[in-house]
Amino acid sequence: MSIISDVTEQQKLIYSGRILASCLYHIEKLLKPGLSCAEIEQFALAFVAKYGATLATIGYRGYKFGTCVSINDEVVHGLPLATKLIPETGLVSVDIMVNYQGLITDAARTYVVGPVNLRTQELVTATQQAMWAAINLVKPNLRVGDLGYAMEQVAKQYHLGNVTALGGHGVGYQLHDEPLVLSTGKPGKGPRIFENMVFTIEPMFTLGSSEVKFDNTPEDGWTVRTVDGSWAAHEEHTVLVTKTGCRVLTLLTSEDELST
């Protein structure tokens, strides 16, 4: 697990999150039907480089890209290919990891493109709500199972599929570290949360089945899709645990926005 208590290291981590949040903010304004996912990749590469950072996933376990762009039934890890275009209407999830001087943050947002029905909008809203339900609980000595239980209750409330094959994870010094933070769990169970621990919270909900399939084709090998083709939403923030709660490192305020 990543426990980052050094003040200088924490400041680097905070700035990493600021770069990431600003990047996602500007990507949202770029999104439009017909936009190539490769254009999102190129924008993100140039933006983080402007602020002395890199996209952390490049080369990780053979992954060739710095962003993941997942559309509709793609839950996570969608490839930002030039041949993949933003649809006239649908859901687009953008997931980025930023490395600033050795400190890594991770975040994802799901954006609505074009007109969608109320149930689809509810999916996005509920996924955001689940993420915040868990974030608002975070504090030292809590258990990871408490966070998972909170997210799971939101999925049940809205009768949504809850993807539990994947989940949040430790970040900071590594791309993926302990603890594993699933969107399911039992209160009082699981790894303990400590002050200065850094990890992500990232529910993935669907309009149908909670089961997913991993694309194992030679052309891909990364994209995770719903088994029934139902649309999915994915929301993620990185948090730093404080004495009484947590600081959301990838939440952008107007005064923190970095320009293009």
**pLDDT for 239:** 98
CA 32 to chain centroid, in Å, comes to: 21
pLDDT at 216 over 90: no
pLDDT at 160 over 90: yes
**Residue 259: inside a domain:** no
**Residue 191: inside a domain:** yes
**Residue 258: inside a domain:** no
Arithmetic mean of pLDDT, 217-228: 90
**Residue 257: inside a domain:** no
Radius of gyration of the chain (CA): 17
**pLDDT for 34:** 98
- Report in angstroms the alpha-carbon separations of 70 from 177, 181, 223, 255: 23, 21, 8, 29
**Residue 76: inside a domain:** yes
| Single pTM value for the model | 0.97
Residues of the domain holding 109 = 7-251
**pLDDT for 73:** 98
Q: Each residue of 30-78: pLDDT tens digit?
A: 999 999 999 999 999 999 999 999 999 999 999 999 999 999 999 999 9
**Residue 220: inside a domain:** yes
Arithmetic mean of pLDDT, 4-21: 98
**pLDDT for 232:** 98
Bridge partners of residue 94, in order along the sequence: 69, 109
**pLDDT for 220:** 87
Q: What's the CATH code of the domain at 203? A: 3.90.230.10
Question: How many distinct structural domains can be found in the chain?
Answer: 1
Average pLDDT, the chain: 97
- pLDDT above 70 as % of the chain: 100
Dist. CA 141–CA 188, nearest whole Å: 10
**pLDDT for 78:** 97
Arithmetic mean of pLDDT, 2-21: 97
Nearest to 242 by CA among 180, 184, 191, 194: 194
**Residue 237: inside a domain:** yes
**Residue 2: inside a domain:** no
Q: Each residue of 103-117: pLDDT tens digit?
A: 999 999 999 999 999
**pLDDT for 28:** 97
